[in-house]
Amino acid sequence: MSDQTPVLECRNLCISYYTRAGEIPAVVDFNLKLMPGEAHGIVGESGCGKSTVALAIMQYMGKNGAIVGGEILFEGRDMRTMSAEELRHIRGSKIAMVYQEPMASLNPSMLIGEQLAEVPIYHDGISQDEAMARAAEMLAKVRLPDPERILKAYPHQISGGQQQRVVIAMALLSNPRLLLLDEPTTALDVTVEAGIVDLINEISEELGTSMIYISHNLGLILETCDRLTVMYSGEAVEVGDIHDVFDEMRHPYTRGLFGSIPLPGADKNAQPLVAIPGQLPLPHERPKGCNFGPRCSFFRTGTCDAGRLKMRPVPGDDDHKVRCERFEDIDWDRDLPKGEAREPVPAGDVVLSVEEMTKHYTIDDGGLAFMSGPPRTVKANEKLTFTAREAETVAIVGESGCGKSTFAKVLMGLEDATDGKVMLGNVELGDLPVDKRDSETISKLQMVFQNPFDTLNPSHTIGSQIGRVIRKFGVARTDEEVEEIIYRLLDTVKLPRDFAKRKPRQLSGGQKQRVGIARAFAGNPSVVIADEPVSALDVSVQAAVTELLMDIQRENRTTMLFISHDLSVVRYLADRIVVMYLGQIMEQGTTEEIFAPPYHPYTEALLAAVPIADTRVEKRHIVLKGEIPSPANPPKGCPFSTRCAYMIAGVCDTDAPPLRTFESGHKILCHLEMAELEKMEPVIKAKAAQAAE
């Protein structure tokens, strides 16, 4: 093994950006050795420098970036000494890259065939026809249906998942030695992501390509990589074999990371998540010594802030290194830090009940009245029926196009329901637009939004934005009272009081989400809709915001509708789950019911698709074919019939499926008989052999 030349080696790599504020080190002292056929993961939160490393390997630093130290050896040669022409020959042929946003990475005004054919034409000097044939072959290899059609299409004419397959095909066309994958599935839906991950694994096995897989998602890394580097604030903090790092981590940050993601077994009452305190330091405000120091519970003055830390080998493990001065002093065999167990909150009466709520949109195609055909109908929500009780958390799970945001709009009164009822207490909300609702009804129903950059008005101070809600809902009138409540709310969401005078741009993403939560709870709501409130946040911040949200909910006995695509989070915090697909509820039941057989075939696939960052569990391998159909043109019969593995031809694709209700109240919308559904195997199982270790 050791006499083999590594495909890629980074030695003491340092990369900086030059800005108005001066030199900002983006990556410091980065080392990496990648052997042929190996897959190496780089994991870290935003701003940790992981993408910068990938671009540095490509020698593409942009105008203001530069490699200021160290070397990058590709097959033993230092890439920094190569001429532009030599680099060009390596890029795309020996080293290829797959990017985060497939749509943006493809040229919008060139045919896909042309973009693919370029690679072999310029690297292997073959003719246009040969290149096209090779492109078609490669498209078939990445399992795209009808390669000839795709060659003659523009990027916007195919779906996101297909675009990413095209980008992968483009990267593989010259059979590269090294493939860089920079968050290749982040922009995609979970079930589509599973297909891409499957493809990547297959490629690495079949072609023996070395890979560097960059992601923020530990579960994905576990599914794809052999070795792993954990990065924090511009530095690698832990490197090692994937099993060493996952099971015997030796850096407090890695450990914190695992403590703050919901793994199977985590439970909001018995075993709450433990957030890493504090937030990521800005690149120009990094502390002296250990970057993680200020957030670390093992921090010791004099040791951890003495000076620059070096990577130190962990005795006993092969090539396992950590950047921690105190890892030998820490008792790693103790379990992961556990949050305090809490009493489950008993659910109360039904607060919100949705009965056969239906929302259809008619879209006109922009033509003039006399030219357009019959208006088309988009069935955004079809006969939704479910209830939510006081103090209960109901999760609505689904991928894009499932109709969850439409549902939120109807609930909040920005759209009228086409049919059916939405009862909040005894007020019918379905056809009561927001301007006809009294302020008591409005204040009872509030929302927490997904995107922290959008949730607050950048022009007003935090205090004035919360204050407006307080006044609007008549919670308080006088300035002193309002101010008092603002301060109390800031205390509740654990933000300093002087934030009231700040503008949103001075806050981090997590802090903005906290303000968003404070704003939602300012009017003492009885139902809060949380629309993916943490999905845009960094992993280490997510846990803190999630916990906060649940604490406030628990205290106020608020009903929460938690909209999410992430089943791990949902499993952790929901009492009951509603699974939606293309505007319909496919399955609903308690959390235990959803995560155990019987499953709806879609739920089954969804469970198998979500990557789990835990070496102790194994999942059944189910990869859905195809993509999510457009809600404007849904399949006939069962909406899931086009992708379902259990599809009964002549039934599922023609007739609407019946609703099967089990004794416990667990409901599944499927043509399969109840007995068949009950025969299903569990998707997630503990690995028997390793659990004993």
Partner 1 sequence: MAVTEIDAGPSVLDRLSRPKPLIALALLMWVPLTAYVMFGGRMDGYADTVLLPAVPATVLLYVLGVRAFRESWVAVIGLSLVFFWLLAAVSAPYLPLLDPNKPIAPFVTPFSEKRDVFFWLGTDFKGRDMLSRVIWGCQRVIVWGVSATMVAYVVGALFGLISGYLSGWWDEVISFFANVLLSFPVMVLFIVILNYLGPSGFNIVVAVTFASAPAIMRIVRGLALDIKTRDYVFAAQTRGEHPLYIMIFELLPNVRGPIIVDACLRLGYTTVAITTLTFLGLGLQPPDPDWGLMIRESAKTAMLWKFSYMLLVPALAVSSLILGFNLMADGLREMSLRD
Partner 2 sequence: MLKLILRRLVQMVLIMAVASLLLFAIFDTPEFKKRLAVQELGGFAVSALSEDSYQAWLSERGLDAPFYIRYANWIGSILQGDLGFSYEKNREVGPLLLDRLANTGILAFFVFALMIPLSLVLGVLAGMKEGSVQDRTISFISVFTTSIPEIATAILLTVVLSLGLGWLPAKSAMIRGFEFQQLILPVLTLVIYDFGYVARMTRASMAEVMTSQYIRTAILKGIPYRRVVMRHALRNALIAPFTLIVLQLNWLLSGVVVVEVFFEYDGFGKLLLEAALFPDVEVVQACTLVAVAVAVVSQIISDIGYTFLNPRIRFA
97 binds, among partner 2, partner 1, none (CB under 5 to 8 A by kind): partner 2
199 binds partner 2 (CB under 8 A): no
Of 213, 164, 236, 248, the residue nearest 38 (C-alpha): 213
* Near partner 2 by CB under 8 A: residue from 97, 280, 573, 612: 97
CB within 8 A of 160, min separation 6: which ones? 102, 103, 187, 188, 192
Q: Which does 99 bind (CB under 5 to 8 A by kind): partner 2, partner 1, none?
A: partner 2
621 token code pair: 């391998």
- The three-class DSSP label of residue 639 is coil
Q: Identify what 487 binds: partner 1, partner 2, none; CB under 5 to 8 Å per kind.
A: none
Q: Does 104 bind partner 2 (CB under 8 A)?
A: yes
Q: Which amino acid is at 373?
A: G
User: What one-letter code names the amino acid at 82?
Assistant: M
63 is a site residue for partner 2 (CB under 8 A): yes
- Listed in order, strand segments (DSSP E) in 157-207 are 178-182
In 3-state terms, what secondary structure has residue 104? Answer: helix
From candidates 40, 50, 123, 667, binder to partner 2 by CB under 8 A = 123
- Cβ 270 vs Cβ 340: under 8 Å: no
443 sits near partner 1 (criterion: CB under 8 A): yes
Stretch touching partner 2 by CB under 8 A, among 13-21, 56-64, 461-469, 661-669: 56-64
Is 63 near partner 1 (CB under 8 A)? no
Q: Which of residues 243-282 bind partner 1 (CB under 8 A)?
A: 282
Nearer to partner 1, 45 or 244 (CB): 45
- CB–CB of 54/212 below 8 Å? yes
Looking at the Cβ atoms of 114 and 566, the one nearer to partner 2 is 114
Q: How many residues does the chain have?
A: 693
The residues in 523-542 that bind partner 1, with binding defined as CB under 8 A, are: 523
Least distance from partner 2 to the Cβ atom of residue 96, Å: 8
User: Is 369 one of the binding residues for partner 1 (CB under 8 A)?
Assistant: no
Interacting partner of 429 out of partner 2, partner 1, none (Cβ under 5 to 8 A depending on kind):
none
Residues that bind partner 1 (rule: CB under 8 A) add up to a total of 49
**Residue closer to partner 1 (CB basis): 558 or 591:** 558
Q: Please name the helix (run of DSSP H) or strand (run of DSSP E) that holds residue 231, with its range, or none.
A: strand 227-232
Q: Does 495 bind partner 2 (CB under 8 A)?
A: no
Query: Among 5, 19, 23, 60, which residue sits at the site for partner 2 (rule: CB under 8 A)?
Result: 60
> Which of the listed partners (partner 2, partner 1, none) does 542 bind, with a CB threshold of 5 to 8 Å by partner kind?
none
Q: Pick the binder of partner 1 from 459, 630, 654, 661 (CB under 8 A).
A: 459
107 lies in the binding site for partner 2 (CB under 8 A):
yes
- How many whole angstroms separate alpha carbon 250 and alpha carbon 320? 9
Tell me how many residues contact partner 2 (CB under 8 A): 33
Is the CB of 12 or the CB of 64 nearer to partner 1?
64
| Rounded-to-integer distance, Cα 559 and Cα 390, Å | 5
Kindly tell me which residue out of 5, 23, 60, 64 binds partner 1, with binding defined by CB under 8 A.
Answer: 64
Q: 552-557: long-range contacts (C-beta < 8 A, 24 or more apart)?
A: 552/492, 552/493, 552/517, 552/521, 553/391, 553/393, 553/528, 554/342, 554/345, 554/391, 556/521, 556/524, 557/345, 557/348, 557/390, 557/391
Residue 474 CA to its chain's centroid (Å)? 38
User: Does residue 446 touch partner 1 according to CB under 8 A?
Assistant: yes
**Distance of closest approach, residue 174 Cβ to partner 2, in angstroms:** 8
Q: Which residues 328-387 are close enough to bind partner 2 by CB under 8 A? A: 366-368, 371
**Cβ-proximal residues to 165 (8 Å cutoff; 6+ apart), any chain:** 139, 142, 143, 144, 196, 199
| 160 contacts 133 by C-beta, under 8 angstroms | no
Binds partner 2 (CB under 8 A): choice among 36, 37, 75, 122: 122
Report whether 271 contacts 342 (CB < 8 A): no
Task: Tell me which residue of 576, 574, 620 sits closest to 601, measured CA to CA.
Answer: 620
Q: Is 651 helix (H, G, I), strand (E, B) or coil?
A: coil
Q: Is 499 exposed, middle or buried (0-12, 13-18, 19+ CB in 10 A)?
A: buried
Binding positions for partner 2, rule: CB under 8 A = 58, 60, 63, 88-93, 96-97, 99, 101, 104-110, 118-119, 122-123, 154, 156-157, 167, 170, 366-368, 371
Residues that bind partner 1 (CB under 8 A): 17, 19-21, 24, 26, 46-47, 49, 51-52, 62, 64-65, 234, 282-284, 412-414, 434-435, 437, 439, 442-443, 445-447, 449-451, 454-460, 465, 469, 472-473, 503, 505-506, 519, 523
